[in-house]
Amino acid sequence: MVRSWDAAVERAQERLGATAGLRAVEAGDGRRFALWDLASRAEGELAERVDPEALDAESERALRRRLGESGREWPDGELYRRRYWVLGERGAPVGTIAVDNWTKGPGQLAVSSVYLRPAARGRGLAGAALDAVYRAATAEGLPGYRLEAHWTWRHAVRYYLRRGLWVVSWKHALGLARMPQLPPYRVTEEAGRLVLLLADGPHGWVPLLSAGHDGPDGRWLRLDETAAYRRSEGWVHDFARSTLALHLALAGRPLVRGPQWWAEAWRWADIGEPEGLAYRIEQFERSARAAGRPVTGPRRPDGTPARLPGPPPGPLALD
């Protein structure tokens, strides 16, 4: 039996295939798309920019070995996801995006392979492609889209937050989403604290949470709720804290409210309190270093490295 949202995904894919600025990857062009995926991984994981159109077989094999992969593309790739070229002004491919053929989370389109060649950046092309995915999803009754970004791919993470995506998971990677149920938000700095504000129609921008340093040495986090946050419900209430936590992490601000909170950090290893993100960041960075990947941690506003309080007690989440 085909579920109703499967048909909705198929219709959303048809909308994307007819979208100006996108072109579905045709049969026989999968290998070229895979090389662009490889260039994206090289930039994200190795901090190296690679021209996907200039990769020969030997350099491809060497790059894949460094990335620890076999180099095989999904068999019958279109069975699993639909791949699209992002087109430039002259209609030639300048980037990539892909959408799974089934939903993720609460019925969202699952997005991957978001990449633009460096010369095509700064023109709004990636944002336009993501907006097209959102329109296609909501037009078919699906609650937006979701994608994952690695913590160590700092430039990509910052980009998605600038796009206003909410943080909905950090179990295996950073899960970010755009959904009709999650209104626009913004994070500003006021008196040395980061404040998360929610768009609330006639009320304008309403503050929900604020966070900054606490304690005489500024080592710990102070997280304050507003009355508006305490009145909030559903996903806004659930994901406001995690979204502000990622903004704090990227700004090199404390994520831990004290030793007791840090001792319980493993409880939020999937999503939730900011201590859970701090816990996951240590794991993400440890894994990256073990694989020989360059890791540049976040920095405080004064330019010094941000440090976590040290390994918390409790069970390790190795999932």
Q: What does the pLDDT look like over 92-149, one tens digit per residue?
A: 999 999 999 999 988 999 999 999 999 999 999 999 999 999 999 999 999 999 999 9
Cα 55 to chain center, whole Å?
Answer: 27
Task: Give me the residues paired with residue 77 across strands.
Answer: none
Residues 319 and 306: their CA atoms lie apart, in Å, by: 26
Q: Which residue type occupies 19?
A: T
Residue 1 pLDDT class (50, 70, 90 cuts): very low
pLDDT at 316 over 80: no
Query: How many angstroms separate the first and last alpha carbons of the chain?
Result: 31
Q: Are strands 166-169 and 220-225 parallel, antiparallel or unpaired?
A: unpaired
pLDDT at 70 over 80: no
Which of 23-37, 63-77, 88-102 shows the lowest per-residue confidence on average (mean pLDDT)?
Answer: 63-77
Residue 306 pLDDT class (50, 70, 90 cuts): low
Helix (H) or strand (E) holding 116: strand 108-116
Span 228-252, mean pLDDT? 96
263 and 314 Cβ atoms separated by less than 8 Å: yes
pLDDT at 202 over 90: no
Q: Pick the residue with more confidence: 258 or 312?
A: 258
